[in-house]
Structure 1
């Protein structure tokens, strides 16, 4: 009889390269270990927020906005930071004129 699986939540951030949509999704990573298997190998399965099991959300990601499959995985939290950055005003940047420094004394190479 296999042991009860352990579940660990894991959040991934995604961006669609087709439409630019950002989103995050949390999956339950289920770890299964068969106690009768002498090798002690563990298998894993991901369960999405709707309870659907999948091999890997990284390989099977589909954009919820446009249905695109050109999806890039990002660091968790990055999607929200990018969304906030799009809507926050940027601080004003003052431009300064950069001129060569003048020095007193004879010009370079003068006797």
Structure 2
């Protein structure tokens, strides 16, 4: 089934992440496309480096240790938070 889009709004957001297990921190910028289809349903699609990716708000694993939990911070906070982790 093909769903036609009625409206798309694109915003750019950055997030900082830190793993509370291993202390690994990273930041990522996302292009977020807020889409409303012809039936009025809303969805958001996340892109980084030109690839569609899952929402960073649902990411459960650290890319360094494949564990977690992950804390999401405002951009630019990774280095500040590292001083409090082992």
TM exceeding 0.5? yes
* Aligned counterparts of 2:62 and 2:32: Cα–Cα separation in 1: 21
Consecutive unaligned residues of structure 1, counting only runs of 5 or more, are 87-111
Counting matched residue pairs gives 80
* Aligned counterparts of 2:30 and 2:60: Cα–Cα separation in 1: 12
User: Residues 43-65 of structure 1, C-alpha deviation per residue, up to 9 Å, x if partnerless?
Assistant: 212123351332x2111243222
Consecutive unaligned residues of structure 2, counting only runs of 5 or more, are none
* Structure 1 length-normalised TM: 0.58
**Higher relative contact order (CA closer than 8 Å, sequence separation 6+):** 2
Report deviation, 1:10.
0.7
User: Residues 19-75 of structure 1, C-alpha deviation per residue, up to 9 Å, x if partnerless?
Assistant: 1111101111111112x33xx453212123351332x21112432222223111111
8 Å Cα contact 2:16/2:76 also seen in 1: yes
Aligned residue for 1:58, secondary structure, equals helix
> By percentage of residues, which structure has more strand?
2
CA RMSD of aligned residues (A): 2.4
